[in-house]
Amino acid sequence: MAFVNEDYLKLPGSYLFAEIARRVASFKDANPEANIIRLGIGDVTKPLVPAVVDAMHKAVDEMASVETFRGYGPEQGYDFLRKAVIENDYAPLGVSLDEDEVFISDGAKSDVANIQEIFGKDNIVAITDPVYPVYLDTNVMAGRTGKLEDGRFGGIVYLPCNAENGFVPSLPASKADMIYLCLPNNPTGTTLTKSELKKWVDYARETGAIILFDSAYEAYITEPDIPHSIYEVEGAKECAIEFRSFSKTAGFTGTRCAYTVVPKTVMARTKSGESHPLNKLWNRRQTTKFNGVPYVVQKAAEAVYSIEGRKQIKEIIDYYMTNAKIIRDGLVEAGIEVYGGINAPYIWLKTPNNMDSWEFFDKLLNEANVVGTPGSGFGPSGAGYFRLTAFANRGNTIEAIARIKTRLNLV
Ligand code: PLP
């Protein structure tokens, strides 16, 4: 009989969303009349914008004609999209990149999950806590951790982010080689200023660590001093890999397109001390294991950068961010301590009266018929917090907040 990868067995089942679904279903059974509003969704709800849909239709037509049909494309992405990414997302920030430093992919989830393959197994991983669970789980699968004990995996450097430290993680107190930063953050909705981020870049350059920087939510940044890219910080091109996605920026969660930037100057070493560019290794990995994003989808992504596309997408982001403001302001009026929601579509609240995250989940469901996500599901430092998202429609967002203000008995 074959052997399993026992590292997979260290992972608990994906308890969070299954448990939410179970509790909502049981509440619905008992209260069939209740109008439940979901502010737990981590997915966009607005459709693709017209500029994107038009480009997609045109690309489909090209695929239908022998003269313009395309088969396998370049694994790293078509030049037209790599160029558009550089010209639109980086040049305006004063960041110059070569086309072969940008790798188009089918999602930031797969990229943040797969990137660890090009790193040695002995690297020590640091993650901010709470955080998007993929960074941790994929390193558990790869055998870079010990067992789960008291909610923490052995061998992982957890960097707590909470109200006490203003959601600004401290530099690792012990050695860390691969550092995941998700900014703006899912789930807390908080982020770092450029000078705070610079401390991380300086740390990585001094110690030889690599920063894996997930900026899937950069399009939601509204404040001026917040970096959209880690490469805005001097020296980051020597120590950081950046992940971006069209998912939350342009409603591509079901269409699938993202990209990863691996500057040729980011190096890691062998045990014997030889330096190797990670760009070359990632290129090798992608060309071996990935066959590229569909032409139709890449044409759709290119249209995100057209004048019309940009305008249409901005309207949608403004819509979600107006929802975020409604949620934030309403919760503050209800006397709840709130974070995030200014540079991200996530609002992170401290549960009132020191309730635990699940206790608050039940209270919100029972008294306001509103569903959110318990913070404890995103890491041990999420305990006692709760996440609401700005992706619902305006009517439901307003109604949910009105119910929280009027129905929730918080004293
Ligand atoms: N990174 C973060 C922080 C996310 O929250 C998500 C999705 O929720 C992703 C990446 C996944 O992005 P994609 O849809 O491009 O796979």
Alpha carbon of residue 347 to chain centroid: 14
Verify whether ligand 1 is closer than 6 Å to residue 108 (CB atom).
yes
| 191-200, Cβ contacts within 8 angstroms, sequence gap of 24 or more | 191/221, 191/226, 191/343, 191/344, 192/168, 192/226, 192/227, 193/225, 193/226, 193/227, 194/225, 194/226, 194/227, 194/232, 194/233, 196/168, 197/227, 197/230, 197/233, 198/233, 198/234, 199/171, 200/171
Pocket test for ligand 1, best of 43, 109, 136 (most atoms within 8 A of CB): 109
* Alpha carbons 116 and 317: distance in angstroms, whole number: 31
Residues in the chain, total: 411
Tens-place pLDDT, residues 23-64: 999 999 999 999 999 999 789 999 999 999 999 999 999 999
pLDDT given for residue 17 in this prediction: 86
pLDDT given for residue 42 in this prediction: 86
Distances (CA, A) of 63 to 49, 297, 341: 21, 12, 41
Question: 216 CA distance to ligand 1 centroid (A)?
Answer: 6
Is residue 223's pLDDT more than 60?
yes
Question: 244 CA distance to ligand 1 centroid (A)?
Answer: 9
Q: Which two tokens stand for residue 59?
A: 């690309």
Phi-psi region of 15 (alpha: psi -120 to 50; beta: other; left: phi over 0): alpha
- Cβ–Cβ under 8 Å, residues 371 and 40: yes
Tens-place pLDDT, residues 293-304: 999 999 999 999
How many Cβ atoms sit within 10 Å of the Cβ of residue 281? 16
Verify whether ligand 1 is closer than 6 Å to residue 132 (CB atom).
yes
DSSP type of residue 397: H
pLDDT given for residue 409 in this prediction: 73
Phi, psi of 238 (to 5 degrees): -95, -15
Tens-place pLDDT, residues 70-89: 999 999 999 999 999 999 99
Q: For the chain, state the CA radius of gyration.
A: 22
Q: Which residues share a beta bridge with 142?
A: none
* Alpha carbons 183 and 230: distance in angstroms, whole number: 9
Tens-place pLDDT, residues 329-379: 999 999 999 999 999 999 999 999 999 999 999 999 999 999 999 999 999
Verify whether ligand 1 is closer than 6 Å to residue 138 (CB atom).
no
Tens-place pLDDT, residues 96-134: 999 999 999 999 999 999 999 999 999 999 999 999 999
- Cβ–Cβ under 8 Å, residues 97 and 86: yes
Is residue 411's pLDDT more than 60?
no
Which structural domains are found in the chain, ordered by start?
6-47+308-407 (3.90.1150.10), 53-306 (3.40.640.10)
Question: 251 CA distance to ligand 1 centroid (A)?
Answer: 12
Q: Round the average pLDDT of the chain to a whole number and report it.
A: 96
Verify whether ligand 1 is closer than 6 Å to residue 216 (CB atom).
yes
State which ligand 1 atom lies nearest to the alpha carbon of 246: 15
Verify whether ligand 1 is closer than 6 Å to residue 106 (CB atom).
no
Q: Going by CA atoms, what residue is nearest to atom 1 of ligand 1?
A: 216
Verify whether ligand 1 is closer than 6 Å to residue 250 (CB atom).
no
Verify whether ligand 1 is closer than 6 Å to residue 344 (CB atom).
no
Q: Which two tokens stand for residue 22?
A: 């179970």
Pairing type for strands 210-214 and 178-182 reads parallel
Question: 256 CA distance to ligand 1 centroid (A)?
Answer: 11
Verify whether ligand 1 is closer than 6 Å to residue 105 (CB atom).
no
Comparing C-alpha atoms, which of 49, 20, 47, 39 is closest to residue 392? Answer: 39
- Cβ–Cβ under 8 Å, residues 385 and 357: yes
Comparing C-alpha atoms, which of 127, 12, 79, 46 is closest to residue 323? Answer: 46
The structure's pTM equals 0.97
Comparing C-alpha atoms, which of 207, 146, 121, 131 is closest to residue 172? Answer: 207
* Alpha carbons 215 and 213: distance in angstroms, whole number: 6
Tens-place pLDDT, residues 159-206: 999 999 999 999 999 999 999 999 999 999 999 999 999 999 999 999
Q: pLDDT band for 16, please (50, 70, 90 cuts).
A: confident
